Amino acid sequence: MDLKGYKRDILPLKDKLFRLALRILGNHADAQDAVQDVLIKTWQDRHQLKLVANVEAWIFRMTRNRSIDLIRARKKNNCEIEQAYGLASHQRSPLEKTESQDIQDRIRKVIAQLPEQQKMVIHLREIEGLTYQEIADVLDITMAQVKIIIFRGRKQLKKELINLHKYE
C-alpha cells in the first residue's frame, strides 16, 4: 500500500478508532495515544495489508488490543512510591508501636475493672481463644451463661473505652 492508498483507506477510520479507544480507556489523551500507536503500526505493516481480508476489522481489533494493553500497563504501574523504589518497610514505625501499646494498656486497665467472672470469661475467650463450650466446661457453667457474660463484658469494655477516649 502506498501513501495515497493509506490516506484513502486507513486515515478516514481514525475518528471511529478514537471513539472505540475512548470508550475502552475513558481518557481522551490515552485514546489519542492508542489510535496514534495503531496508525503508526499500520503504516509500518502496510506491505502486509494485502494479506488481510478485512482491513477495517483488523485495525479495529488492533485498536481494541492496544487500548487493553494501555489499561494493563496503567494498573501495573500504579504502586506506592515506597514500593517502587524499594523504600517500603514492613516494620511498624515508633509512632505505631507506641499507639498500639497505649491501646493495649487501656484495654488491660478496663478489663481489670470488670467483675471477676466477666474478667475470667473475656480472658479465656479473647486471649486464650477458647470456644464457648470449652469456657463453659472450665468454669462449670452453661454455654448460655458464657454467651451472656461475654456479651455483658464486651458491652462494658466498649462503654469504658469510649468514655476513656472522650476524656483524652
The model's pLDDT over 143-153, given as tens digits with 9 standing for 90+, comes to 999 999 999 98
pLDDT score for 139: 86
CA distances from residue 4 to 9, 12, 34, 97, 131 in whole angstroms, order as listed = 9, 12, 23, 70, 80
Rounded CA-CA distance 30/33 in Å is: 5
114 within 8 A of 156, measured Cβ to Cβ:
yes
The separation between CA 49 and the C-alpha centre of its own chain, rounded to angstroms, equals 43
31 within 8 A of 21, measured Cβ to Cβ:
yes
132 within 8 A of 138, measured Cβ to Cβ:
no
Tens digit of each residue's pLDDT (9 = 90 or more) over 22-38: 888 888 999 999 999 99
pLDDT score for 86: 57
Tens digit of each residue's pLDDT (9 = 90 or more) over 106-133: 888 888 888 888 888 888 888 778 889 9
pLDDT score for 88: 56
Tens digit of each residue's pLDDT (9 = 90 or more) over 85-101: 555 556 778 888 898 88
pLDDT score for 168: 57
52 within 8 A of 58, measured Cβ to Cβ:
yes
Tens digit of each residue's pLDDT (9 = 90 or more) over 35-68: 999 999 998 988 888 888 888 888 998 999 999 8
pLDDT score for 57: 85
User: Helices marked H in 26-142 — which ranges?
Assistant: 28-44, 55-77, 81-84, 94-113, 116-122, 132-139
- Please determine, for residue 80, whether its predicted confidence score (pLDDT) is greater than 70: no
pLDDT score for 117: 87
164 within 8 A of 110, measured Cβ to Cβ:
yes
C-alpha torsion angle, residues 55, 57, 61, 64 (rounded to 10) = 120
149 within 8 A of 121, measured Cβ to Cβ:
yes
Residue tagged 456479651 (cell numbers): 151
